[in-house]
Structure 1
């Protein structure tokens, strides 16, 4: 469906974001790692409670809600799939970043979830995590790595992905029930996206 030019109303109780899809079709030049006490740990068959907690701590402020709304069986089917890899960025023995790579589509790797907790934003931890993500993705026989971000995300996210070597190729509008109104997310998160009941 084609959206008309101009303004379009978003119903009360809904949120709307502009989603930008980005891709990389060749292995990028390796970037230097920032200084920091971070490491990457692969979560082998991640526990659902652990995943949900890290997902919430990394993404709640940016209105990540898709995985919070699915059942345990649906979540397990995704993150336990043989071609899906989940990693934690570790800082001071705590898991403070989330990386999910999906290799289920032949020749492709989707960076499904990528982010660090609020205390690590601006420290270089995200650069470290992206460097590891791209090493892992391009270690496979693929021809494309892709991801998407949206206007709910950190204001520097889109530029960060472009500096990392991704180029935009598609834009969409996503409309969904506001997760703060149905209890999926706390009412006071994501103040940059006002609640309209």
Structure 2
């Protein structure tokens, strides 16, 4: 059995494209995880993506995770609510002054609380000012990402509200599967 998956690619081509979300109520802060930590990044990846079929990085070894996180211009920004990790955004510098939002999302318990729009706004702004933290990089000219129909139901709308515009849509057939979850028996 297969399922049709729609993948949308979106971009911003100027910092002026960013339309920031309001900050959520309560104690939410966003901090860069400056020390590459495969354990922490894998925790974030499985906790955020476990219920929406994120599986591409699951087979990676510790060394492969470390190499990905250690690339110049790769940054992980983590949103915390009252000291608890709520979600993350991973930026990946690419050639031609481009930055990809490689991963973005919230742990299920933190969705629907206005944290996502704020984290996406903050992370996108950090993509635009990435060269200030990585002096060998030229200023960012383009920020892009992709999302798909397996992601949360509000993902595409959140990207568009933040000022991202669609530049490509693709349909693929994938085997129907059960999301892996962060671990067997975890709350979905």
Q: Is TM more than 0.5 here?
A: yes
Q: Structure 2 CA distance, aligned partners of 1:161 and 1:113? A: 13
Q: Is the 8 A contact 2:33 2:78 kept in 1?
A: yes
Normalised by the length of structure 1, the TM-score is: 0.79
Q: How does 1:1-16 map to 2 (within 5 A)?
A: 12=1, 16=4
The answer for unaligned runs of 5 or more in structure 2 is: 131-138
Q: How many residues align?
A: 178
Measured in 2, the distance between the counterparts of 1:180 and 1:112 equals 23
| Structure 2 match to 1:169 | 167
Kindly report which structure 2 residues correspond to 1:48-127, keeping only aligned pairs within 5 A, or say none.
48-127=38-117
Tell me how large the CA RMSD over aligned residues is: 2.6
Q: Is the 2:90–2:103 Cα contact (8 Å) retained in structure 1? A: yes
Indicate the SS of the match to 1:127.
helix
Partner of 2:133: none
- Who is 1:3 aligned against? none
Q: What is the CA-CA distance between 1:150 and the residue it aligns to?
A: 0.3
Superposed CA offset, 1:38-91 (max 9, x none): 111111233212111111111111111111122222222111112100121111
User: Considering only CA atoms, is the larger Rg found in Structure 1 or Structure 2?
Assistant: 1
165-174 or 51-60, which deviates more = 165-174
Name the TM-score, length of structure 2 as normaliser: 0.83
